[in-house]
Amino acid sequence: MHNKKILVSLAKPGMKVAENVYTPSNILISPKGTTLTDYIIDRFRSYSIESISIEIPHKNPSSKPETQHFNDKSRDSSTYSNRIRSSKEFKQFHKEYDESIDDFKNQMNSIIQKNDKINSEHLLEETSKLINTSRNGFHLFHMIHNLRNYDDMTYAHSINVSLICNIIGRWIGYSNEDIDLLTLAGLLHDIGKLMMPQSIISKPEPLTPEEYNLIKTHPVQGYNLIRNCALDNRIKRAILEHHERCDGSGYPYGKKSAKIHDFSKIVAIADVYDAMTATRVYRKGLCPFDVIEHFEHDGMLRYDVKFLTPFLHGVVQTYMNNSVMLNNGHIGKIIMLNTNSLSKPIVQVDNQFIDTSKDRSVRIQNII
Residue 102 pLDDT exceeds 70: yes
**pLDDT given at position 303:** 98
Neighbours of 291 (CB within 10 A): 21
Q: pLDDT tier at 64 (50, 70, 90 boundaries)?
A: very low
Residue 187 or residue 21, greater confidence: 187
Write the DSSP assignment of 91-129 as a string of letters: HHHHHHHHHHHHHHHHHHHHHHHH-PPP-HHHHHHHHHH
With beta carbons less than 8 A apart as the criterion, state whether 191 and 108 touch.
yes
Residue 251 pLDDT exceeds 70: yes
Mean pLDDT, the chain, integer: 86
Angle at 133 (CA atoms; ends 135, 119), nearest 5 degrees:
125
When computed from its CA atoms, the radius of gyration of the chain, rounded to whole angstroms, is 22
Residue 13 pLDDT exceeds 60: yes
**pLDDT given at position 113:** 84
Residue 60 pLDDT exceeds 60: no
The pTM score is 0.78
Give the 3-state secondary structure of residue 108: helix
**pLDDT given at position 242:** 98
Going by C-alpha positions, the residue among 344, 352, 349 that lies closest to residue 329 is 349
Q: pLDDT tier at 66 (50, 70, 90 boundaries)?
A: very low
Phi first, then psi: give them for residue 151, nearest 5 degrees. Answer: -65, -40
Dist CA 307 CA 273 (whole Å): 13
**pLDDT given at position 249:** 96
**pLDDT given at position 223:** 97
**pLDDT given at position 70:** 35
Helix orientation angle between 153-171 and 137-145, rounded to the nearest 10 degrees: 160
